Amino acid sequence: MTPFNWCFPTKLIYGQGRVCEVGTIAAQYGKKVMIATYTPGSALDPVINKVKSVLLAAGLDVTVFAGIEPNPRTQAIDKAVEIFNAEKCDLIIALGGGSIIDASKYIAATAFSGGKSWDYVTCNEHVGREYTGAFPIITIPTVSASGSEVNASGVIKNTETKEKTLSYSPYYLPKVAIVDPEILASVPLRLTQDSCIDIFSHLVELYLCDEDESEFSDRTTEGMILCVKDNFEKALDDLGDAKVRGELALCSVYSRSNFKAREHLDCMSMHAIQMPLSTHYDLPHGRGMVIIIPAYLEYLADVLPHRWAKLARRCFGVTETDDAKAAKMLSTEVVKWFKSTNSFLTLGDVSIPDEKFKKMAQDAVRIHSVNRVTSHKGAHSISAADVLAIYKLCK
Distances (CA, A) of 253 to 30, 114, 178, 217: 25, 30, 11, 16
Which residues of the chain are in CATH 1.20.1090.10 domains?
187-393
pLDDT confidence bin for 370, thresholds 50/70/90: very low
Is a pLDDT exceeding 70 seen at residue 259?
no
Is a pLDDT exceeding 90 seen at residue 150?
yes
Is a pLDDT exceeding 80 seen at residue 2?
no
pLDDT confidence bin for 378, thresholds 50/70/90: very low
pLDDT value for 1: 59
By the 8 A CB rule, do 70 and 145 touch?
no
Nearest to 138 by CA among 97, 88, 175: 175
Can you tell me the mean pLDDT for 186-202?
95
d(Cα 143, Cα 185) in Å, to the nearest integer? 9
By the 8 A CB rule, do 156 and 121 touch?
yes
Q: What is the pLDDT of residues 303-343, one digit of tens each?
A: 889 999 999 999 999 999 999 999 999 999 999 999 999 99
Can you tell me the mean pLDDT for 74-94?
98
d(Cα 34, Cα 89) in Å, to the nearest integer? 6
Q: Name the fold adopted by 11-183.
A: Rossmann fold (3.40.50)
pLDDT confidence bin for 377, thresholds 50/70/90: very low
Average pLDDT, the chain: 91
pLDDT confidence bin for 85, thresholds 50/70/90: very high
Homologous superfamily of the 187-393 domain (CATH): Dehydroquinate synthase-like - alpha domain (1.20.1090.10)
Q: What is the pLDDT of residues 208-225, one digit of tens each?
A: 877 777 888 899 999 999
Is a pLDDT exceeding 70 seen at residue 121?
yes
pLDDT value for 381: 72
pLDDT value for 371: 40
pLDDT confidence bin for 51, thresholds 50/70/90: very high
Is a pLDDT exceeding 50 seen at residue 123?
yes
Give the residue, 388 or 67, on which the prediction is more confident.
Answer: 388
Is a pLDDT exceeding 80 seen at residue 263?
no
d(Cα 148, Cα 141) in Å, to the nearest integer? 9
Residue 258 φ then ψ, to 5°:
75, 0
Is a pLDDT exceeding 70 seen at residue 346?
yes
Distances (CA, A) of 73 to 55, 137, 153: 27, 19, 15
Which residues of the chain are in CATH 3.40.50.1970 domains?
11-183
By the 8 A CB rule, do 194 and 287 touch?
yes
d(Cα 138, Cα 156) in Å, to the nearest integer? 19
